[in-house]
A and B are shown apart, each in its own frame.
Chain A
Amino acid sequence: MSRFRLSRRALLRGSGSVALALPFLEIMQGRGTAHAAGATAPLRYLITFAGLALATDHTTSPYILPTALGPDYLSNLKASPAGATSPNVHALAPLVERSLGGDVTFVSNLHLPRATGPANWNTAWHPPTMRPLLCGKSSTPDIVAVDSPTSDTLAAWLLGGGTAFPHLALRAQPQKYRFSEPKPEVGIAGGRLSADKNGPIEPFVDPGQVYDQLFGAAPKNPADGDLSNREERAVVDLVLERANSLRARLGNADQKRLDQHLAELREFERRLMALGSTPTCSPGAKPTATFPADLTEKSGWSNETLRAQLMNDLVYLAFKCDLSRAGSLMYTYASSYTAVSDILGRKVTGDMHELTHSAGDADTGSDLAKVWQWHIGNFAYLLDKLKGTLDVDGTSLLHNSMIVFVHEAGFGTEPGATEALNDNFGAHSGNNMIAMLAGAAGGNFKPRGHVNAGKSHPASALVSAMRAVGVQGPLGEINDGLAQLG
C-alpha cells in the first residue's frame, strides 16, 4: 500500500476555487529530520476534535467502530454495503491505509454522564459536552463553554516553556455557519477547544496568519540583516509603551481589560523576538491560499478539506521546528453545520449536524461513515507526517508525542433516562463515546490497540494522555486516568 503524499497537482485539483501559490509548504517535499541528532527530544501534546456524533438518531455505528479488541482492531473492518449512497467506506480506513494501527490506542465505550456524577452534562444541546469532556467540569444551562484549564493548556504549562508558542490553538472550520442555539455565545462556545485559567482561548483560523506567527510576516531580505526584525519590534514596542502610559489613568475594570490586551501583546512581542532563532528549520513557502474573504457569508463550506490539511501541516511544522509543544486543533465546530456535499462527492442538502438527525442517507450509515472518515483521515494525515519524521533522539516525532482525538457526542440511550428523553436526544448522547490516543509520549505510553473503557468518563482518557507527558493532578473533577491504559 502506497503511503500518502500530496502532490502539487493533487492539491490544485482539490482546491476548487482556491488560488494557490507554488511551491507550498513541505507537504510536497520529502520527509525530513527534525533536528540534528544528539539532544533529548521534547514531548509534545495535541488534542484534536470532531464536532460530530458517532451515530445517527436511533442507530448504532457499524461502519465507524471496530469490532475486534486488542492490537489487531483494524483487521476485518467491514465497509458499508454495496449500493449505499456513498462509496463503500469504513471510517477507520485511513488508519489502515497509513499503517497506524500500532500507533493509535482506540478507546471505546466511554460514557459522559447526564445530570449526575463528576463532570456531567445537564443542559440543552448544543454543546453541553465541551466543558465536561475538556475541562472535566459539569455543564449547566448557564455554563457550557470551556472556561478552566484543559488538558492541552496544562500540558503547555509543563512542556512549552521557552518555545515561541507555548500553546497553539487552531481551528480548521473558520466560522459558525448557523446558529440554532438560544444564545449566540453558546454557539460560539462550540468553536473553542482550549481554555486556561483566564477562560476560553480563541483559535487561529487562517493558515497564512498562523504561518506568519510561526515564521514571521515581514518580507525577508538577507541584505537587511536584522533591520526588518528591529522595525517590527519598534512598532510593537511603541504600542506597548503607549498602552502602559495610558493604564494609570484608567479605572480598575478598564485596567483589567487593558491588562489582558497587554499580556497578549507582550506574548506577541516575545514571539517576534524569537523569530529567526530557528535557522536550521526551514518551513518552506507560506501558504497563500485565498479563501472566501467575507467570512460573514454563511455558505456552509470554506474548503475545510484544504484548511484541515494546512492546519495539520502547521502543527507538524510547529512541532518539528520546536516552535510549540502543545496545542489544540478543531477540525469542526461542536454542532457543526459544515456542508457535506464536497466530502460526500455529491450534492446533498444538509450538513454534518442534520446528517446525524437522519437527513440525507444517514440511515444506511454510509454517509455518516464517510464524514467520519474525513475527520479521521485528517487525524491520520497528521499522525503519518509525525511518524515519518525523525526526532533528535532518533525516534519519530510521533513516538515523542501524545496526539489525542475526541468528539462531541456518542449514540444510544442514556441509562436511567425515560423513554421520552432518549427519544428526544437520539444522536445527542453522552453514551458510547470514543477517544483515540496516538503516539507513545517518548515511551511513557504503551499503545494498546482497541480498549473497551467500560463506561468510564471520556475525560479520564485525557487524564491518561496528559499524565503520559508528565502532567500530574486532576482534570477538573476527574482525578484518574483509565485503568485499562495502565
Chain B
Amino acid sequence: MRRLARKWFARSLPGVVCLALAAAVGCNAASSPRPGQGQDSGGAPAGAAGSPPTVPGLASALTSPRGLGFVGMRRLSKDEYRRSLSQLLGTPAPAALSTLPEDILTPYDNDFGAQVMSPVLIAGLSDVAREATAAALADATSRAALVPCTPTGPSDTACFRSFVERFGRLALHRPLNQAEVARLLALQSFSVERGEFYNGVALAMRALLQDIEFVYRVEVGAAVESGLVRLTPFELASRLAFTLLGAAPDSALLDAAAQGALDDEAGVRAAASRLLGDPQAAERIGRFHGLWLNYENADVPPALKASMRAESDALVTRLLFTERRPYGDLFTSEEAFVDANLAPIYGLPVPSAPSWVKQLDPNRRGLLGQAGFLAGGAKFGDTSPVLRGLQIRARLMCQSIPPPPPTVNADQPPKGDPTECKSARYKRHAENPCASCHALLDPVGNGLERYGADGRYREVENGRPDCPIEGRGALTDLGVTFEGPAGLAQALLPSGQIERCVMKQLTQFVAGRQLSGADEAFVESLTTAFASEQHRVPDLLLDLVASPAFRHRVIEEPQL
C-alpha cells in the first residue's frame, strides 16, 4: 500500500513541496530599495565630461555618464554569437555551435561575472570558425558576397586586401589599421603555397571569427576622467546593435559611425530608430522576457514549447513594436496567437494557420495567461503554487525571497496522505514553521490554480473530481485578492511594481551583470523615463541608448 501510495504521489500529485522558508530568515516581501536608499552611482552631472545635452525630463542617473555603472568585457552569449555569425557570413548557423558551452543564466545569458573560460570554449570557437568558413566559401552566392572581387590568381594581393579590409571591418566592428591589414595579408602565403586564393581567405576568416574583438564585446573608449571613458563611435555602434538587436552592427551602422552620425544624440536616435525597425529588435525584447519570466526554459515537449514561444514572441512584437502600445497592455491583452498545439489548451477551434483569436476565458489575459508562462511554474507533473508564487514575486515583482533552509528538501515529491486534496495539504503550510514565507507565496499561486501545468483550464485537481479548485488568490502585502491571470495583472498593474521591476531587469540585461544598491538610482531614472514615454518600450529604448549613461563606460577596475 505504501508503495502504491508513493507511486501515486510521484505520478499524479502536484509538486507541493513544503517550501519551508524558515521564519528565522525573516520572510517579508522585500522589494528593491526605494529611491535614495541605494548608493547613488551617478558622479558627474548631466552634460559633464563633454557629454552632449539630452532631452529634458530624463532623470539624473540616465543623464550621468557614470549612471549605468561599470560594464565589463563580456563574451557574446551563444544567441548573440549565432546572430552575429549569420549576419556576417549570410549562411545558416553551423552545427558546431552546439559544442560551445551553455551560457549560465542568472537569469540572463550575458552575465560577464558568470562566464568561465575552458578548453571546451576555445575548441568550440575553433570548430565553429572552421565549419562556418568552409560552408560560406563553398556556397557561390555567399562567397561572392564575402569576396566581391574576382581573383586573378592565388597571389592577387589587391583582391585579398579588399577582402581583408571589408570583412575585417564587419568582424571587428571598426576599420582595420594598416598594421592589422598587413598581418592578415600575410596569410595569403598559404594561398600561394596551395595554389588556391580562397585558402588564405579561409584562414583569415577563421582567425577573425576567433578574434577577441569578435567573440567579446570590447569597449576601450577614450578617457574622460579617472575610471570613465567615452565610447568611440564604433564602440557605440557596437553597443547599440548588441543592446537593441543582440547582434553585431551592420555595415550601415558602421558607416554612420564613420561619418560622425553617432556623435550627437539626434544621430544616435536616428540610428537606433532604424535598428528598432529590424525584426531582431522585437526578438531581442522577446528573448529578454523569456529569460526574465522563465518561459524560455519551460519543461514541455519541443513542439509545444515552440508554439508557446511563438505566441509569447508574437504578443511582444505586435503590442510593443507594431502597435507601440503601453507596456501594461502586455498583461491585459484579450487575444491569443494560437496554432494546432495551443488551441486545444485554450479551448479554442484549431486554426488552419497560426492566427490571432480572442480568448473566451475572461480570466485569461496577456502574458501571464499564456500557456508558456504558466508552464514555467510546473513541478512533478502538475502545477506548483509555491513555484508560481515564487516566480511572480521574485521575477515579476523583483522581490527578494530567501531560499528554503538546508533542512528542507524542495526537490522531492510531496508526501502525506494520498487521499487528501492538494488544497488541503497547502492549507497546512499555515500551521508549520514555514508559514511566514508560504503566506506570501501560496496565495499568489493559488490564484492561478485553475490553470494546469500546461496552462489548460480546469476546475478540479488532476484526476480528482472530488477536489474542486477554488482559484482565488491574494497579494497579501498589497491587500488585494484576485482570480486567474487577468485578476493578477489587474491587481499588480496599479501598484507600478511591474513597470519598476521590468526596468530593473532591463538594467541588468543591458549592463550584463548582477545589480547592487549602487544601481538603484539608474533603475529609478529609467522608471521615470518609462513613465514619461507613456510606457512605450521603443521610446524608452531610444531614451536609454541616446543617454549619456549609455554612451560612456565606467571601468570596473582601472589600471593603476
Contact = CB atoms under 8 A, between A and B. Distances in A.
Interface of A: 57, 115, 122-126, 141, 169, 175-176, 178-185, 188, 199-206, 209, 212-213, 217, 227, 230-231, 234-236, 238-239, 241-243, 246, 249-255, 257-258, 260-261, 263-265, 267-268, 290, 293-295, 297-299, 335, 349-350, 354, 357-360, 363, 421, 423-426, 428
B105 interface: yes
Interface string B543-560: 000000000000111111
Contacts of B558: 251-252
Contacts of A122: 406
Interface string B285-320: 000000000000101001000000000000000000
Contacts of A227: 190, 193-194
Given A200-B116, A213-B123, A253-B72, A246 B559 contact: no
Contact of A124 (B72, B297, B302, B411): B411
Interface string B363-406: 00000000000000001100000000000000000000001111
A141 B9 CA distance: 28
Given A252-B558, A268-B119, 19 more contacts: A126-B411, A184-B105, A185-B104, A204-B120, A206-B99, A209-B96, A209-B120, A212-B127, A227-B190, A227-B193, A235-B203, A239-B207, A242-B183, A268-B122, A293-B95, A350-B10, A358-B9, A359-B413, A424-B409
A209 B123 contact: yes
B124 A209 contact: yes
A212 B123 contact: yes
Nearest to A426: B412
B72 A267 contact: no
Interface string B89-111: 00000011011011011110000
A157 B483 CA distance: 61
Contacts of B299: 178, 298
Contacts of A199: 116
Contacts of A212: 123, 127
A115 B405 CA distance: 13
A176 to B, nearest CB: 8
A374 B3 CA distance: 24
B513 to A, nearest CB: 11
A250 B73 contact: yes
A260 B117 CA distance: 6
A424 B407 contact: yes
Contacts of B102: 175-176, 188, 295
B410 interface: yes
A355 to B, nearest CB: 9
29 contacts: A57-B6, A124-B406, A141-B403, A180-B411, A183-B106, A184-B105, A185-B104, A213-B119, A227-B194, A230-B190, A231-B190, A234-B190, A235-B126, A236-B126, A238-B184, A246-B212, A246-B213, A250-B220, A251-B556, A253-B557, A264-B118, A265-B122, A268-B119, A293-B98, A299-B302, A349-B11, A354-B10, A358-B10, A359-B11
Contacts of B95: 290, 293
B327 interface: no
The residue among B126, B212, B218 with the most chain A CB atoms within 10 A of its own CB is B212
A124 B404 contact: yes
A238 B123 contact: no
B415 A423 contact: yes
A262 B456 CA distance: 51
Nearest to B219: A254
The residue among B72, B199, B207, B406 with the most chain A CB atoms within 10 A of its own CB is B406
Contacts of A260: 116-117
A209 B99 contact: yes
Contacts of A115: 406
A267 B120 CA distance: 12
Interface residues on B, range: 35 or more
Nearest to A201: B118
Nearest to A180: B411
Contacts, number: 201
A429 to B, nearest CB: 11
Contacts of B99: 205-206, 209
Interface string B268-299: 00000000000000000000000000000101
B560 to A, nearest CB: 8
A363 B3 contact: yes
B393 to A, nearest CB: 13
B187 interface: yes
Contacts of B104: 184-185, 188
B130 interface: yes
B7 interface: yes
Contact of B10 (A184, A202, A359): A359
Contact of B557 (A183, A252, A299, A350): A252
Contact of A239 (B123, B127, B211, B560): B211
Nearest to A354: B10
A60 to B, nearest CB: 15
B414 to A, nearest CB: 11
B114 interface: yes
Contacts of A235: 126, 203, 206-207, 210
A115 B413 CA distance: 24
Contacts of B115: 257
Given A213-B123, A253-B556, A363 B6 contact: yes
Nearest to B306: A297
Contacts of B411: 124-126, 180-181, 335, 428
A175 B104 CA distance: 12
A231 B120 CA distance: 21
B406 A251 contact: no
A414 to B, nearest CB: 11
Nearest to B199: A231
8 nearest A-B pairs in the assembled complex, by CB-CB distance: A202-B118, A253-B557, A359-B10, A358-B6, A254-B73, A253-B556, A260-B117, A252-B557
B58 to A, nearest CB: 28
Given A213-B119, A349-B11, A180 B379 contact: yes
A268 B122 CA distance: 7
Contacts of B211: 239, 242-243
Contacts of B379: 180
Nearest to A168: B119
B44 interface: no
Contacts of B380: 354
A217 B129 CA distance: 12
A366 to B, nearest CB: 13
A359 B413 CA distance: 9
Contacts of A423: 415
Given A125-B409, A252-B559, A268 B207 contact: no
Contacts of A254: 72-73, 218, 556-557
Contacts of B408: 124, 424
A185 B11 CA distance: 28
Contacts of A255: 559
B457 interface: no
B407 A421 contact: yes
Interface in B186-223: 187, 190, 193-194, 199, 203, 206-207, 210-213, 218, 220
Contacts of A239: 207, 210-212
Contacts of B426: none
Contacts of A293: 95, 98
Contacts of B218: 246, 250, 254
B356 interface: no
Contacts of B130: 217
B297 A359 contact: no
A238 B107 contact: no
B406 A141 contact: yes
Given A209-B99, A241-B183, A217 B126 contact: yes
